[in-house]
Amino acid sequence: MDDAMEDEPESQTIAEEGPIAGVFNPPSVNNERVLSGESYTHLSAVPAALIADMSTECVLGVDEAGRGPVLGPMVYGLFYLPLPLHHSLLAETHHFDDSKVLTPAVRSDLMSTLCSPTTDLHAHCGWATRTMSARDITAAQLRANGAYNLNAQAMDATIDLIQRVLDQGVNVREVYIDTIGPPATYQKKLERVFPSLQVTVAKKADSLYPCVSAASVCAKVTRDAALEVLYSTYARPEDQGVIAWGSGYPSDARCTTWLKGNMHPLFGWGNECRFSWGTAKELLESKGAPCRMDWPKPDEETDNMKLTGFLMEAEEEKEDEMATWFGRRVAAEVF
């Protein structure tokens, strides 16, 4: 369904997209929720520098990680800080960039610095993530009363994150977002929702605006850590800290090999898999998955019957039962 995604890494870098052992585990990863297949939002506390002066104008960036994989959650990241520090703190001091350009170790170090109370990033910057589980993405796309497609889910996640930060009292003035689909259309939708904000939606925004780069790092590190938690239920001693399914992208040979070798004959896979993706559906069909269900067509008469119809029917049955118990009146000719 959404198998081919525009942000999927190029083939020459796909081998580096898998999580590695020993990376920083951010507070945005809730092990219990990740394993249960639950979607959830994490918000950092408002930075101390902003609490001291809530009138400070801020810039905010939003980006995602894991839009295309068949395995693991899609994570939306948000990052904000005072406007005067936008380039000096993020680009010049800490060298934030598109998360796909940075190595896993560099991303991990940046996230660790952000979460350390004694650092300048922690003092001036706030962040948030929305972890959208593979289970919930699949359920939304396959629901019977109309598919809730991935673009709509992404839009709602973006709006929800921005609104939560505004509700914290942060004085956001400028917003930069990496686009999904045509930038102009996406931007108009957000401007209608947030008319007081200066919204800019652009392709490759994670390479153009430092706050979006920082948001992409928050999203990517959170997704990588969530993948590690999900894989813990499958880990074997010989894996030695390496996640055998790699990046989780369909074009990653490690991912497809793992899917083929770990498919349950009855249930397929667990909460880590997006069953609505073509890769998963094709494997299930080719293996002859035994759990195909053909739902019966609803009975129109029963469906259209009012509640009073069931009550009246029950009363009639009650009267017949009483008549049988006490007997029926008969004519004199019987005697």
**Binding-site residue positions:** 63-64, 178
Residues of the binding site for a divalent metal cation: 63-64, 178
Q: How far apart are CA 283 and CA 265, in angstroms?
A: 11
Taking CA atoms, 101 is separated from 176, 179, 235, in Å, by 19, 18, 28
Taking CA atoms, 83 is separated from 7, 17, 218, 220, 326, in Å, by 28, 32, 19, 24, 88
Phi then psi for residue 150, to 5 deg, are: -65, -35
Beta bridge partners of 30: none
Beta bridge partners of 129: 42, 77
Sheet with 40-43, edge to edge strand ranges? 40-43, 126-132, 74-82, 58-65, 172-178, 198-202
Collapsed DSSP state (helix, strand, coil) of residue 27:
coil
Q: How far apart are CA 223 and CA 137, in angstroms?
A: 15
Beta bridge partners of 75: 65, 131
Q: How far apart are CA 221 and CA 91, in angstroms?
A: 18
Amino acid at 214: A
Query: Nearest Cα to 243, choosing from 34, 70, 18?
Result: 18
Determine contact, residues 238/247, Cβ cutoff 8 Å.
no
Q: How far apart are CA 45 and CA 168, in angstroms?
A: 9
Q: Give Cβ neighbours of residue 160 (< 8 Å, ≥ 6 apart).
A: 41, 130
User: Which regions of the chain does DSSP assign to beta strands (E)?
Assistant: 40-43, 58-65, 74-82, 126-132, 172-178, 198-202
